[in-house]
Amino acid sequence: MRLAPGPWSLVLACATLLASTDAGAEVEVVRASPDGAEVSFTYAPPIAVSSVSVAGSFNSWNKDAHPLLDPDRDGVFEVRLPLPWGKHLYKFVVDGRLWQPDSDNPLREADGFDGFNSVAAVGRSGPEAEVGDDRLDIAALLHGPGIEYRERVASEGLAILRLRTAAEDVRSCRVVFEDGRKAELDAVYSKDGFSHWEAESRLGPKPVRYAFQVEDGKAQAWLGASGVSASMPAKAGLFVFDRRVPQLDVPAWVKDAVFYQVFPERFRDGDPSNNPPGCQAWGAIPSTGNHFGGDLDGIREGLPYLADLGITALYLNPVFSAPSNHKYDTADYRTVDAAFGGDAAFERLTQACRRAGIRVVLDGVFNHSGDRFWAFQDLLKNGADSAYAKWYTVRSFPVTQDPPNYEAWWGFGHLPKLDTSVPALRRYLLETGAAWLARGASGWRLDVPNEVPHDFWKEFRKAVRRARPDSYIVGELWEDGLPWLQGDEFDAVMNYPFRQAVLDFFGPRKGGVEAFHAALLEPRHRYPRSSLAVQFNLLGSHDTPRLATVLAEDRRAHRLAALFQMTYLGAPVIYYGDEVGLAGAKDPDCRRTFPWDEDLQDRGLREHYKRLIKLRRSRAELRRGSVQVLLADEASGVYAFSRRLGKEASLVVLHRGEGQAEVSLGLPAWLAAPVMSELVEGGSFLAPGGRLAFMLGPWQGVVLAPDRR
């Protein structure tokens, strides 16, 4: 989201002083455990400050989650946190608004905003492991209660079971059921000194009990609910798989959806009479605060274009009453902004979308309101006597906005933070979520959900599912979304890690094939199986530089990235204008107006998107099928994977690079045929004896399917 400008000269001065004067900072492991380590973060600012916290990938960058304390008032702030194994990005947050990296830590990564994040690497501290050494690191064995370790996939009648071991430590793993049935586990990925194993089993109507048998040469161990043992545990010591095991029920329609994200103020001006004063000419350069007159009637007028492209779902940035162009500063959660055409325009749009077979997902900002929200205005007027005083966290009265003496998002006074634990406010927000579904929406994209307690989202899911059982809930999470995908909060998250993997591989960095493969592999075997087909697979958004710009206007890379997006697992999302090559740097430049003049569009790129979407919609395995990687060749830059659903299967082969690449693949029996048809451009390839051999040109991709005729 984009913040409105404000008088931040004092803030900038303090930030400059903090940045120019070294602060004393230290991050160290205090105590290791089988699951991770207790890590101490200390920070000694060079100037007097009132508060310090640490925000990072381990708490979804929530600056309020982990404050550092200075009980003896010596100017050294500290907090100790239990962190799991792995790489953790972090920054210190001073006085609630100044984000400072750890200048004493040489480990750092670019933060995407011309700065850097510091890195805390927590590695496994167990004994060295090697397959075949007749030893097992039993402390590394883990089969936890979360959905990442055991999942009920009721729609497919499957139980997914996962086990963690030390990396390179185990030759074989199997799950053994109480009735004697066995299933081998496959090693699916390794990371941070651990290997992760997976098996699936058919579900029956009754609970089942099981344990894991782990072997390496002469060494053998069993893992059950009672811990590690030398033999199969007794019944009381077995794991139990029953209806209490986590299950994530996702809306079926999302598996088949192709989303199109619209920033309403910049897509199309359908009714100039509702334009705010001082609107810029369509096509002018966007700034943080200017307006162009886009509205909901404009989106409605654009539906034939979207339907022709093949779009089946819209994600709209906020449409509710608010003074800004982005509407993330909500003034009224129950009305559509007048500049967008008001409630009547929303009804016209949803009715037209229904006729066109297009769903609408709205953007909800329930972490904070705008300062023009009627409840906050009442608080400003009546102070401690306001009926809505408890809806916000006010430190003292009277209320002052500059600087704010209340909790506010990133310390910005015009975005006061809501206290969702207050029953009356919670009821209002839950009713709001349900009300818009009753008025025609099909789901919610939730803004900064990591800054709202989990218990609120659990209630939110119940409320919106009561209102519309097939509603879709997707959260704006930039890092790991697993805590919100346990079955009782979100269906999916905005898949920014997917975007990063794609841009690293297809973009100017030209990252390696193996790194690309690894970045995609982990979430496929860590996120719930049920969530994979509905993950929000974006390549750009209102918060990022545009795809064309990141790819340095290389249309070959753009076409290949789009081919991958439209054939991979998850719901593809097109940010408005990406399909015609619209450029744009970081916000606000990424929020340019849509170029309706076809002379300003890359019509060839648009037709490429149209063909890919048509292909995806015509092939069930591309929408709902499993993924199996058949080739990830670093030397040639070739990546090949299959999609399979029942008897339907296809093969995607991509060559990222210059020159010619020779592809030689042995096809699985369920994919093999003497002739393989190419589904994007047409043509065929011979695969005698199930062996496929052909040449790919520079930056070329093909989608092949067995010709069963």
Cα torsion 311, 315, 320, 325 to 10°: value is -90
Q: Is the dihedral of CA 170, 174, 176, 181 positive or negative?
A: negative
Q: Name, in order, each residue with C-beta under 8 angstroms of 343's C-beta and a sequence gap of 6 or more.
A: 335, 336
DSSP 292: -
Q: Name, in order, each residue with C-beta under 8 angstroms of 116's C-beta and a sequence gap of 6 or more.
A: 101, 108, 109, 110
Q: Which two tokens stand for residue 143?
A: 């089969």
Q: Is the dihedral of CA 273, 276, 277, 279 positive or negative?
A: negative
Catalytic residue numbers read 447, 476
CA dist 694 → 210, 614, 641, 687, 704 (Å): 47, 26, 16, 9, 12
- Cα–Cα distance between 580 and 568 in angstroms, integer? 21
Expressed in percent and rounded to 5, the helix, strand and coil fractions of the chain are 30, 30, 40
Indicate the SS3 state at residue 98: strand
- Cα–Cα distance between 709 and 704 in angstroms, integer? 15
DSSP 96: T
Helices 454-467/423-438 angle, 10° precision: 30
Indicate the SS3 state at residue 119: strand
- Cα–Cα distance between 596 and 282 in angstroms, integer? 10
CA dist 98 → 6, 42, 112, 411 (Å): 15, 16, 17, 9
- Cα–Cα distance between 630 and 620 in angstroms, integer? 20
Query: Are 420 and 391 within 8 A, CB to CB?
Result: no
Q: Is the dihedral of CA 266, 271, 277, 278 positive or negative?
A: positive
- Cα–Cα distance between 158 and 30 in angstroms, integer? 41
Burial of 640 (C-beta count, 10 Å sphere; 0-12/13-18/19+) = buried
Strand partners, 196: 164, 189
